[in-house]
Structure 1
């Protein structure tokens, strides 16, 4: 017999899409988010819950599978499937581009949890160029405090934000501040 880990992550975002993409990046550092190019479409793999099924699902959405067909195969609620489709729709728009991104699409991608690295991959550009364009569009990270326990515990959660979007969770206690690199 072998022991299997129950993988869990916590990600906070202003939209499901944003939190979902961040959660996927936390599970495996080689994953840039909800990427439809990591695994091929396979109906049998869609039926069985595994750690890789999300990427098969992404590939199926990119291949044009309907929300209803994916629901029949996966039994994942249609609401979640529609949110995942939103991510793939933005991915498809990014893949049509070659390096330069219209400001509106860049903001939409960032609002839906796309990292600079992820955007760069889809537009076949560099992460540095995406970061430069993001700064030119005045999409700048900042930190905001949230209270996740209604003042019951003496811990403050700080969130690194990109405009109005939550990107990285940092935790501060009374004596220590843990800040992760943006």
Structure 2
């Protein structure tokens, strides 16, 4: 979402943004300008107008406009139900990078997004719109690459390799590095993989940070260089069918997937997902502290700067 304080508008209410504001957002380079480009398309700006204001190459703008047009096609079917989501359109939007959750919001509205995502996923699988597994070409196409660096894509018709046939364990990495979630989680993930290997399991890592030891080529038998979202993790688990999944060594990003993966019958090892959720969910953890009579700092979940300053003032 665009910063409502600095940028002067709310991203999910583009009708409240006037053209002079859009012009300013397009002409001032910042980390959120890509969202302003989408707003410009919604306001009827042509590719040439956006190019003149941003100086972004037409090649990139054309692809952004294609994504915008596909989003419009989905939105036009809102209210028609999942039956309106035919194979050709679904395959096109998946190739363009739309997640099941984004499709759910465009098609079904602003209801229970996680529940609607599952409906879209079920519809997608029923239509046979599935990603394929590809090996990253580390040899610049000069020779056939036989690496364990893998990714999933909708731009393909067949998998580069078959699912792991030996018993295997999947470990979810820490994803993007943040303060407090770097070396320690990488160390934990790598040790989990090494221990699984010592126990005779083939090892699978799902992680996307190239700065980690866990993403070195010789640490695991298979490395999926992929985002740690529910959709992508489930795609990989359904393909590989590991005997177990370790997510408690990866930190907050995989831990936040614990309850959803458990609900999808992923074979989670270690700490129970319900217990992970109690520790990760601030509201639940705070309630447990209150029940046990354990003192805790005053806290509040806030979504605006004004509310933050008011709370800090108190």
Conserved? CA contact 1:143–1:158, under 8 Å = yes
Query: 1:93-128: per-residue Cα shift (whole Å, max 9, x none)?
Result: 100113321221111101111111111111125111
1:43 corresponds to: 23
Aligned in 2, Cα 1:105/1:73: closer, same or farther, shift over 3 Å? same
Instruction: Find the aligned partners of 2:207 and 2:127 in 1 and give their Cα distance.
Output: 24
2:277 corresponds to: none
Instruction: Find the aligned partners of 2:25 and 2:73 in 1 and give their Cα distance.
Output: 26
**One of 121, 126, 133 as aligned partner of 1:143:** 133
Report which of the two has the higher share of strand. 1
Provide structure 2 residue ranges, at least 5 long, that are not aligned to the other structure.
1-10, 110-115, 158-205, 209-214, 236-314
Is 1:108 aligned with 2:92?
Answer: yes
The correspondence of residues 12-51 of structure 1 with structure 2, limited to 5 A, is 37=12, 40=17, 42-51=22-31
1:79 corresponds to: 59
**One of 84, 93, 96 as aligned partner of 2:76:** 96
Normalised to the residue count of structure 1, the TM-score between the two structures is 0.68
CA displacement at 1:71 relative to structure 2: 0.8
CA displacement at 1:64 relative to structure 2: 1.4
**One of 146, 156, 159 as aligned partner of 1:164:** 156
Instruction: Find the aligned partners of 2:154 and 2:36 in 1 and give their Cα distance.
Output: 29
Aligned in 2, Cα 1:145/1:76: closer, same or farther, shift over 3 Å? same
1:28 corresponds to: none
Provide the aligned length of Structure 1 versus Structure 2: 144
Instruction: Find the aligned partners of 1:45 and 1:160 in 2 and give their Cα distance.
Output: 34
CA displacement at 1:145 relative to structure 2: 1.2
Normalised to the residue count of structure 2, the TM-score between the two structures is 0.41
Is 1:174 aligned with 2:218?
Answer: yes
Asked which structure has the greater CA Rg, the reply is: 2
- SS of the residue 1:159 aligns to: strand
Instruction: Find the aligned partners of 2:13 and 2:76 in 1 and give their Cα distance.
Output: 18
- SS of the residue 1:148 aligns to: coil
RMSD: 2.9
Structure 1 stretch 90-99 or stretch 138-147: which is displaced more?
Answer: 138-147
- SS of the residue 2:129 aligns to: coil
